[in-house]
A and B are shown apart, each in its own frame.
Chain A
C-alpha cells in the first residue's frame, strides 16, 4: 500500500470509523445507561412522594406524650365496662358541681340519658367528696369516640351560665357546651347548659 492510499485509509478511519465507534461504542450505550439511571431517579422520586410527610413532634407534644401522669390522658377516657361507665358519670357530675361551686355557680340539677343511665334529678347543695376507690382511667389510642349530653340546671341570673361555661376548661372530664336553655315565667326562671362529654368506647 503506497503512502497516498495509507493516508486515505487513515482519513476514512478518522472521519468515518471514529464517529461510528463514538456513536455505537460510546453515545448509544451511554444514553442507555443514563436513561436507566433517570428511570431509577424517577422511581425513587415517586416512592419518596408516596411516603407520608409527618410533622415532627413539637417540644410541647413531646413533653405531654412523655409524661404518663399528664392531665390530657384522663380527659377523654376509655370506658371498658359498666363500673368504669358509672364511675365516669360520678366524676363528671361531681367535678362539674365542684368546679362551679368554686366559681360561685350553683348546679341545681342534671338531666341526662346515657345508655342505661337515665337521670333527671336535683343536686344537693353540698356534695361530699368521699374516696370511693375509683380512679380516672387513662386515654388509650384504641377506641371509638362517643359523646353524651347532660343538661345542667344553673341557679341565678343568666350570666351565671356564662360564668359556668368559663369554668368548664378547668374540669377534668372534657365538657363542651353545645347549647343553653333559658325560660322565664312569672313564677320562676329556669336555665340550663347543655354539655357534651366525650368518651372512648372499646
Chain B
C-alpha cells in the first residue's frame, strides 16, 4: 500500500473504461478499473482512492462517458431555475426509463439566437451515485462533475482568440481523440475515436474522420468554411499530412497545446469559478458542499468572536495597567508634595518678614518717587506766581496716591494776574497722573504795597487755592 499523497484537489477523469486520478500538476495517480458485473463501484474504487488520496481532499470529476447526454441550444436569458427545469424536461424525453442527474449552464453568445447558449448535460443517476459513493467511501469530498467537452471549451478560452466556427482535434494521453465542431460557445458536433499507435495509420484515420465530418457538416451548412483545424494534445503531424489537409480539405493545421491535460484543468478551474456553473453532481451533494462552506464560515466567525473577546480582554487589562501606573505615579507625586508642605510652611514663615521689608522698601521707593514728581511739578510755577502754602499727603487708599493743596498768589506784571495762574494750571494738568479738582477759590483784588506808589497796571493780584490728586 502506497502512502497517501499530500492533501490537494484531485481530478477524477471518468470514461467508458473506468476512472483515472490526477493531481492538479497533471501527475497521474493511477487508473481505477471499471468494476465487473455485480461488484459495487464504491467497493472497488473506495480502497484505491483511500490509498492514493488524503481524506477530506476535494475531488473534481471530468465526465467523458458515452452514456452522458449533452446538448447545446440557443435560448433567450433563463434564470437558474428555468435552466434546471429545461434540462430535466428535455432529458426526460430522451433518457427513457433511466433516472438521470442533469445540469445546465448559460453562456452569452452573440452568434446564438436569443443571445445565449444553454449547455445541458445529463447522466444516469446510478453512475453518478456510484462515483459519489466511491469518493465519499474514501473520505473524500466531491465538489464538481463537469462534462469533458465543457471543460475543453472553457480551457480553450485560455489559449487566446478563436474564430466563431472552430474545428478542434483533442487527443488525450491514451490516444483517444475527440473531433469537435464548436460554433461560438455552442458544441455543434463531436465525434470520438481511438488513434492507432502507427503514425501513418493514425494520420490516415484522422484524415478520414475529419474528411467525413466536414462532408457531413457541409451538406447541412453550405457556406461553412474552416481555415484551420486546431489541435490540442499533439505537437506535430507529418508534412505530408499537413500538405494533404491543405490541398484536399483546404485547411491549415494549428497546434494550440502539446498536452490536453493543462487545457482541461484550466477549463475545470474556469467552470468551477463561474456563477451558475455546469455541475452534474446531485443537488444534495452541491448543497452539502455549500453547507460545509457555510459551516466553515460560521466556525471562522465563532473563532473570530473568540479572538475579538480575547483581544478586548487584553486591551482592557492593558488599560487597567496603564491607569494603575497613573494612579501610582499620582500617589507618589501627592506624597512627595505633602512631605514638602512642612518644609514649604517653614520657608513661608521665614520669608514673611523679609517679604514685609521688601514690600515696605518698594513702597518707600514708590512714595519718594511720586512725592518728588508731584513736588517738582508744584514747585516749578511760571513767572508771576508766588506760592504761599503747599501740602501734599499720601491718601490711605491703594494703590499709592497723593492729595495736594496749593495756596498762592498770581501777580499782574507783564500780563494780567490770572494769565500766569492759567499757565500754572495748564502746566500741572500736563503732568502724567496728576488730576486737578475744579478751582474752588480765586479772588482777584488790588494789591496794596506799603511805601510804594500804586501803579494801576501792577496792582491787581489773584489769590488762589488749588486742590488735586496724583498717582
Q: Known contacts A65-B350, A168-B364; is A179 also within 8 Å of B323 by CB?
A: no
Q: Which chain B positions have C-beta within 8 A of A45?
A: 330
The size of the chain B interface, using a CB distance under 8 A, is: 59
Greatest chain A CB density within 10 A among B303, B316, B338, B358 is at B316
Q: Which of B328-371 contact A (CB under 8 A)?
A: 330-331, 333-334, 337-338, 341, 344, 347-354, 356-358, 360-361, 363-365, 367-368, 371
Residues of A that sit less than 8 Å from B by CB: 7, 10-11, 14-15, 18-19, 22, 26-27, 30, 33-34, 37-38, 40-41, 44-45, 47-48, 51-52, 54, 56-57, 61, 64-65, 72-73, 75-76, 139-141, 145, 158-159, 161-162, 165-166, 168-169, 174-185, 194, 198
Stretch at the interface among B137-145, B282-290, B387-395, B437-445: B387-395
Task: Judge whether B376 is part of the interface by a CB distance below 8 angstroms.
Answer: yes
Shortest A37–chain B CB gap in Å is 5
Is B375 touching A57 in the complex (CB atoms < 8 A)?
Answer: no
**Residue numbers in B under 8 Å from A165 (CB-CB):** 368, 371-372
Question: What secondary structure prevails in chain B residues at the interface with A?
Answer: helix
CB-based contact B394/A179 at 8 Å: yes
**Beta-carbon contact of B375 and A34 below 8 Å:** no
Q: Taking the complex as formed, is B305 at the interface, i.e. its CB lies under 8 A from any CB of chain A? A: yes
Q: With the chains together, A44 CA to B299 CA distance in Å?
A: 48
Q: What separation, in Å, do the CA atoms of A178 and B366 have in the docked complex?
A: 10
Neighbouring A residues of B323 by C-beta, 8 Å: 34, 37-38, 41
Q: B residues touching A (Cβ–Cβ < 8 Å)?
A: 295, 298-299, 302-303, 305-306, 309, 312-313, 316-317, 319-320, 323-324, 326-327, 330-331, 333-334, 337-338, 341, 344, 347-354, 356-358, 360-361, 363-365, 367-368, 371-372, 375-376, 379, 386-394, 402
Residues of B within 8 A of A56 (CB): 347
In the complex, the answer to whether B389 meets A198 with C-beta atoms within 8 Å is no
Residue of B with least CB distance to A193: B371
5 smallest beta-carbon distances between A and B, as pairs = A179-B393, A14-B302, A178-B394, A182-B390, A44-B330
A48-B337, A54-B347 given; A30·B320 CB < 8 A? yes
Bound: A21/B390 CA distance, A: 93
Give the residue of B327, B354, B375, B392 whose beta carbon is less than 8 angstroms from that of A40. B327
Taken together as a complex, chains A and B put the C-alpha atoms of A38 and B326 apart, in Å, by 10
Q: How far is the CB of B312 from the nearest CB of chain A, in Å? A: 7
| Chain A to chain B contacts (Cβ below 8 Å), 17 pairs | A15-B302, A22-B309, A33-B320, A37-B323, A41-B330, A44-B330, A51-B341, A54-B348, A64-B354, A65-B354, A72-B358, A75-B360, A141-B350, A158-B375, A158-B379, A180-B391, A194-B393
